[in-house]
Homo-oligomer: A and B are copies of this chain.
């Protein structure tokens, strides 16, 4: 059932039928009504490719997903995607999820941009200096970055949270409570958000003339296992930290385990503070000792990033947008114990 068949059935031209269905004003009410009903009844749906060819619009945006055999998606990514999806639906867009490896990524970007398969590209969690942003600029396609590139001077549209500020405040809070030895179990070191967080922590230490102990700042994939391993190592060394910052709740999950393993008490023996991306199935207030957090919904960021991307298709901008981060105090932090 295509437009021609439908218009022949109605005894009208394709032009009129097309206009009636797409809400153009130069169609009489009666005709529009008649066309709508017939379309409904005959189950007509416009062919996507044909429409795309005629209009030059795809009605979809691309989100690139890094995949490798056996390597899973980051749980935070799923939450972000869920927000993107919510916005996409309400905006009438589809999401093209393009799985790539590091090797195929550039070619995929080029293909997506130049084949007209999508109207825009969403990039998330860029590296400290990310050539993909340069590439997107070159490709001349609307794009939006969730996170930002720390090493870039040119303006480009992004949405990020104030990672540096958040971890500065968190570290400062712990220092205020008397902590001098603060461990920081961070995300992967090449990711810009992790770097920003480290900068925030180091600023707070510097402000208080505390020397940075490199062994107390680590980078790794944000999993329970990593949290456990590093916390165990930190607690078992001679000069153990009295407070630990975690870049994610999953890390905190492992940290909690390592702390309990050693029969230490959270909030008194060891203070614990983690960043909370607001993942509904893992809540800091549900930890055995409710967890102090820096909090920012990654899902809300997905919604907003998608909205801005779509807005930018018609009206490009290069605005950076930085969200403040809440600091939420719960029982997992307390004054430094007198070691």
A residues within 8 Å of B by Cβ? 1, 43, 45-53, 58, 60, 63, 65, 67-75, 77-79, 81-82, 85-86, 88-89, 94-101, 104, 110-111, 114-117, 222-225, 228, 250, 253-254, 257, 260-261, 279-283, 286-288, 299
Q: Are A53 and B45 in contact (CB under 8 A)?
A: no
Give how many copies assemble into the complex.
2
Residues of chain B lying within 8 A (CB to CB) of residue A223? 280-282
Q: Are A81 and B97 in contact (CB under 8 A)?
A: yes
CB neighbours (8 Å) of A43 from chain B are 110, 114
Q: Which residue of B lies closest to A98 (CB)?
A: B94
Q: Chain B residues near A115 (CB, 8 Å)?
A: 45-48
CA distance A51 to B257 in the complex (A): 55
Would you give the shortest CB distance from A28 to chain B, in whole angstroms? 27
> Residues of B contacting A286 with CB < 8 Å?
224-225, 228, 254, 257
- The answer to whether A75 touches B224, judged by C-beta atoms less than 8 angstroms apart, is no
Q: How many Å from the CB of A91 to the closest CB on chain B?
A: 10
Nearest CB of chain B from residue A84's CB, rounded to whole Å: 8
A224 touches B283 (CB 8 A): yes
A73 and B81 in contact, given A86-B99, A117-B48, A286-B228 (Cβ under 8 angstroms): yes
Residues of chain B within 8 A (CB-CB) of A78 are 73, 75, 77-78, 81
